[in-house]
Structure 1
Amino acid sequence: MTAPTVGKRPADLLREGRRALGVPLLWLGAVAAGWVLVAVVDPNEPGHYPTCPLLAATGLYCPGCGTMRALHDLAHRDLAGALARNPLAVLSLPVLAWAWLGWVRGRWGTPTTARASVPAWVQWAAAALVVLFGVARNLPGMTLLSPA
């Protein structure tokens, strides 16, 4: 919980706000830089990025396989292509944005701002969804989920 803001000057509040938002803004900058890199350097062309270690070792697709190509497609406004590469990654982007905004609100918050936590069952359900997606995309006949 942050200290009360009563009696503080606006310049002090602004300085505290910048300090509180430093880490979330660094993360935003790193994600944006990564997205720009993936948008500019096409992951569909071999040799630009490393191969997935699980795919290289076993020939199986991990839940993250195709994510860079999906982000590349999104950067070029190809939602259908992005969903074909990795639907789980594309559908998780709004959730990640919402979580980041919650993090910012929590860091910038006032003493009356309640910190929301994700229930344990939601965390377990999300983990199970990722595992099930990873298994399903490797089943015979499930070429719809294949990132190829």
Structure 2
Amino acid sequence: MRSLSIIAVSLLAAACSQQPAPVPAAAAAGSPPAAPVATAQASTPVPTPEISGEQAFAMCTACHSRDAGAPQRMGPNLRGVVGRKAGSNPGFDYSPALKASNITWDAAQLDAYLAAPAKHVPGTRMVIAVPDPARRQALIEYLSAP
């Protein structure tokens, strides 16, 4: 049952973190799409719209809380995570890999972990990554705040 919950949450988070592509007016009106035009800007990454830490954390709330005294969920409560040793929040059953990681959460560790949890800590149970650097930064700032 836990595996199905993890898969469901993973799919939900992936769907929530994706932004739909804009539909050109011609396509919306039923006209055939125009041929792509090669420009220097085509290879330039699209800037990420500014996102608040609270907005960034919204996708995490399916598994985590940040409220003082809130119960553990599928993932641990993240209040006070910055400065805390990984796998040490009382009352949560962490993976052996995370407990043995010897990580103390700081901005750099959180950034690496959130970018690719299973790559940073092989064997972790966290399956959701935050690939967007701007979203990770907003999230880390939010988790760093008291």
TM-score (norm 2): 0.26
Q: Larger relative CO (CA 8 A, sep 6+): 1 or 2?
A: 1
- Which structure has greater helix proportion? 1
